[in-house]
Structure 1
Amino acid sequence: MSDQHPPGSTATLDGIWLGLDLGTQSARCLAVDGTGQVLATAARPLTGRRVGRRHEQDAEEWWSALSAACREALAGIDATRVRGLAVDGTSGTILLADAHGAPLTPGLMYDDGRAADQAAAVNEAGGAVWRELGYRSMPPSWALPKLRWLLDHEPGLANGTRLLHQVDVVTWKLVGHQVPSDASHALKTGYHLVEERWPHEVLDRLGVPETLLPDVVRPGTVLGTVCAEAAEATGIPAGTAVVAGMTDGCAAQIGAGALTPGAWNAVLGTTLVLKGSSDHLIRDPAGVVYCHRGPGESWLPGGASSSGAGVISQYFHSENLDVLTEQAAALDPDAVAYPLVSTGGERFPFRAPEAEPFILGDVPTRAAEFHAYLLGVACIERLCFDYLDHLGAPTGGPLTLTGGGARNAYWCRLRAEVLGRPVHVPEHAEGALGMAVLAATASGASLRDAAAAMVRPGTELRPDPARTARYLPVYLRFIDELTRRGWLDPAVADHARRRAAQ
């Protein structure tokens, strides 16, 4: 990621910058100016297919939905002022395409878990490299096991077949020919972030042809410019700079401005994702935390839980959440639920494929049950920070809360009080904004300067120390139960208890 300009750079952010976001459920275009003012936004839905551990999307739909979103967003603004764009996508989503970029397979999505056998082979072949890179092993949902699965089930692929990450489909269309992938999306395909190369010795053992793999550059690199055909499809002016993006979690982190060492962004969507900034590579013996490369020599450690706000849509989908929140806040009970969303177990802050939801305490009403899940997410979030501290990651910097769950003001305050630390809820924080900020580095500004100019800090919430003390026994009871069930390492639980005692 380019960060060549020191703080105080005089590079201009004049113009309009576009952030393009490919999520699980929608494709979005956001247009902002150099002060972070949102000028226009539009989205189109995406559809997927889930069968057991399989999760696929039609890659052609990524382009058609994003093109339509861009046309709508740009229709009401002066598109001639657009200077650059960047694209984010879901982490670990891949497909195979022909030499012209046409998809040969569906997109295997970020949480597709079909490649269990291939993951074992990948970890046997590359374990030493994965340990060096800090994440120890690859689960089946990562891109390299899924690539090996595709090669096992798509025999006789023609010469010129390409591996594409989700955003590579879009950047190929935008520029009119294949351009390099970014190192952020290439991470889960095994890209060596320290040496900045593909580990060909590992890939050779796995039978992955070198010709299949894209070139890779750091996020923030200018890949090319929008071609005439893409301009007609999207409404983005031909000649607009196309900047290498990052995965959706990193995009949200940039959109929240969490770029200084010790700063963190907590994205509460269907699941909870934490992304932070560190001045050194964080290595995790358990393999649940991994690092992207950040600006300059910094690293972006993080983890994605299988717990989160998805429990609300699972258990309370037909109910009035505003009313439930008001009732839950008035009750303020101390029952706590383990808010696991996935049927495949937990992946952060501990790895436990056998994990399943539970509730500690009495929940005699729907409001009490609702509150137990809100409190459970806050306890998982605190355990994530305790685990990160256990690994030696810096955790004491500013914390921002983003994602759909951050729209619930009571939940944000509850999370701040369980954590016992101030939090900020930015005015606008989403992956698309992060990509607009990254696109603005094409002006010559550093990423931190662009974020300082374009990310608006929003609301600060400070915890009530008395309420933090009230929730502490709930948190300790929660980690005791996770430990009793054999999911949480006792050493991690002890570390969490020591931090609580301080």
Structure 2
Amino acid sequence: MGVSGVWVGVDLGTQSARALVATGTGRVAGLGVERLASLRDGTRHEQDPDAWWRAVGAACRRALAQADEPREVRGIAVAATSGTVLLTDRRGEPLTPGLMYDDGRAAGLVDRVNEAGARVWEDLGYRRMQPTWALPKVLWLLGEHRRPGARLAHQADFVNRRLTGHEVPADLGGALKTGAHLVDEDWPRDVLDALGVPADLLPRLVRPGALIGTVCADAARHTGLPVGTPVVAGTTDGCAAQIGAGALRPGDWNSVLGTTLVIKGVTREPLRDPLGVVYSHRAPDGGWWPGGASSTGAGVIAREFPGRDPEELISLAETCHPAKPVAYPLVGTGERFPFAAPDAEGFVLGGPPASEGERMAALLAGIGFVERLCFDHFDLLGAPVEGPLTLTGGATRSARWCALRAEILRRPVLLPENSEPALGAAVLAASPGRRLADVAAEMVRIRRTVEPRPGRRFDDAYLRLVGELARRGWLPAELAAHATERTGL
């Protein structure tokens, strides 16, 4: 890839819009951030769609102003939250607020959605939609705001229409939770007809990375982007983070450990999970990106040790590994992955920890054990799991924690220099006409490889946790047996 141009990636999140200007070698030439505000009230979570556009404009102007030298802007792509939707008129103007990804007002409609779409959801592998997914929210919006000529827009669609000045298709990643049939790459018309969703409400569908237009004059004045800049279909923020991590070839995996744990990988075929805890996005090359989100994560440490320096606690834990107590640490009630147990609660086996260091050691190891069990689940489903593993998320700020995870997982781990979703969107913007994995290989920089410590000192504790989860009826027997077999003990 030539390095004379730059590409712009936008990450439209819950709290801010981030615009990143990247060169062909992945160097960040500019970064702009603009805050966003939400309206929350119980299950209600809304944002003003016009505020998205104002924030995108401000973030792009700042990022482009920071670029150290004039360069040709060769493309832009927008990543956005998954399951955030609104209705617009024919001109793309909002008729409703944006119902955010976790808005729960449509929970009463999800059973109707799952009854009508049971065959399709089964075929796609996730088996059931969740109450906060987009399709139940579409029904809720139609019930509250139905108007002649209304159009459905996902969060990224709304911004892309403002960028181009005309109607745009939706990317398959963003449309997954609205019911898009990712195998057929079309809407399941019979299901949507049965639910009363008008055919003219729905946008056309394309894969992420497709060229969908160019920046119009009004958008150029608003964002600072040159008129005619190619606009490329983006994807969800989670998929954009995977792109930013460079995990794009079959067998590659990206484990994101922040408040909670999210793992995404690459397979040639979609994974059909009998438990319904894994679902797969469609990759630009026609392959699949399966993933799942657990309820464990660093949020447990923030709750158990409020106001404490995590690195100090990790240092205290160093001399206590492996801890005698075995912890199953959950951020809240209920587990989503690698098994579904709405009533699951965290616990500690082996009596109370003898010290702060041992308590911290048990929590760190427990998070690592859940991460390991996730890979055991992927392996049971037939996914290739032995390829490169990239770690991202806030937990990667700790070298000690990364080394511990490598040891528990018994595999090397890669730490990228910058893996934020905005970089992944910039990689997508640079991908038309090329394989996305090849573009990422040039733009995603790996800063370090962490090799696992020799030995298997955590295997016994891991098997104690697996056995207890099975005994409590949360972990299916088949997965417990497979995890045990994979330890080689």
- Same-fold call, TM cutoff 0.5: yes
Structure 1 residue 486 corresponds to structure 2 residue 477? no
After TM superposition, the structure 1 = structure 2 runs for residues 98-497 of structure 1, keeping only pairs within 5 Å, are 98-152=89-143, 154-155=144-145, 157-334=146-323, 335-343=325-333, 345-361=334-350, 362-442=352-432, 444-466=433-455, 469-497=456-484
| CA distance 1:61–1:346, change in 2 (3 Å) | farther
CA deviations over 1:447-497 (Å, ceiling 9, x no partner) = 12211111112211111122xx11112211222222222221111111111
| CA distance 1:368–1:237, change in 2 (3 Å) | farther
Cα distance in structure 1, aligned partners of 2:321 and 2:52: 43
Q: How far off its partner does 1:314 sit?
A: 3.2
| CA distance 1:472–1:45, change in 2 (3 Å) | farther
1:62 maps to a residue whose letter is W
SS state at 1:75 partner: helix
SS state at 2:9 partner: strand
1:139 maps to a residue whose letter is Q
Contact 1:13/1:450 (8 A) holds in 2 = no
| CA distance 1:52–1:414, change in 2 (3 Å) | farther
SS state at 2:457 partner: helix
Q: How far off its partner does 1:398 sit?
A: 0.4
CA deviations over 1:260-293 (Å, ceiling 9, x no partner) = 1111011112221111111112111221111111
SS state at 1:452 partner: helix
Cα distance in structure 1, aligned partners of 2:319 and 2:222: 52
| CA distance 1:204–1:22, change in 2 (3 Å) | same
1:348 maps to a residue whose letter is F
2:178 maps to a residue whose letter is T
4+ residue segments displaced more than 6 Å: none
1:44 maps to a residue whose letter is E
Structure 2: unaligned runs, 5 residues or longer: none
Aligned residues: 486
Cα distance in structure 2, aligned partners of 1:54 and 1:414: 39
| CA distance 1:50–1:378, change in 2 (3 Å) | farther
- Percent sequence identity is 57
CA deviations over 1:153-211 (Å, ceiling 9, x no partner) = x15x2212222111112111111222111011111111111111110100011111112
Q: How far off its partner does 1:62 sit?
A: 2.1
| CA distance 1:187–1:62, change in 2 (3 Å) | same
Q: How far off its partner does 1:24 sit?
A: 2.8
Cα distance in structure 2, aligned partners of 1:471 and 1:54: 43
CA deviations over 1:328-370 (Å, ceiling 9, x no partner) = 2233352343332245x22111111212222334234444333
Relative to the length of structure 1, the TM-score reads 0.92
RMSD of aligned residue pairs (Cα, Å): 1.9
Higher relative contact order (CA 8 A, sep 6+): 1
2:255 maps to a residue whose letter is A
Structure 1: unaligned runs, 5 residues or longer: 1-10
Contact 2:326/2:464 (8 A) holds in 1 = no
SS state at 2:400 partner: helix
Cα distance in structure 1, aligned partners of 2:457 and 2:3: 47
Structure 1 residue 20 corresponds to structure 2 residue 7? no
Cα distance in structure 1, aligned partners of 2:35 and 2:356: 31
SS state at 1:376 partner: helix
Match of 1:93 among 80, 84, 88: 84
1:89 maps to a residue whose letter is A
After TM superposition, the structure 1 = structure 2 runs for residues 39-54 of structure 1, keeping only pairs within 5 Å, are 39-54=29-44
Cα distance in structure 2, aligned partners of 1:307 and 1:95: 31
Relative to the length of structure 2, the TM-score reads 0.94
Match of 2:24 among 16, 34, 37: 34
Structure 2 equivalent of residue 70 of structure 1:
60
